[in-house]
A and B are shown apart, each in its own frame.
Chain A
């Protein structure tokens, strides 16, 4: 069965430091992977996706994600965190039939 796991409920970083939000997946066949962000009282916003091609995917707001097939991971990264990056981040994988399965979410907190 397809699934996605975000092992950290919360990630705390200082502004200006690099950040990583972890995601691992389980899927048969080639994975289609996505990252979304949710700000308080808002819907989800698309950040980036991996379908095929380069393992390093660049997305919105300076975020990027690294696809690692051997480790079945798709970690979200940003070289320098901003306080405004504080939000709830969701990793997702395309499951059979085309629906998206989301991880439990990781709360990112960036302190000044």
Chain B
């Protein structure tokens, strides 16, 4: 089935550093979503993108919908300990109700 390539798989960073992760697809999407999942909880929506080229911020988080509609990135500025978790991208094609999910990026902050 459809796959999203999400990278990196994991990141070890120092507190205060900026973080960048991305997702690419071989298919065109009309929606990109970024979720965060904390241990023992379900994914929580961070940012939703609906238009090619759209750049949206949510606090220290910024995400962009790639102009080709086949990719998206998420940046986190000045990381803090509570940013630890797994970040998932998800995309939707046309009016399909299904989301295609990336495999996740695990963010670990070095003490």
Do the two chains bind?
no
| Residues of B in contact with A (beta carbons under 8 Å apart) | none
| Residues of A in contact with B (beta carbons under 8 Å apart) | none
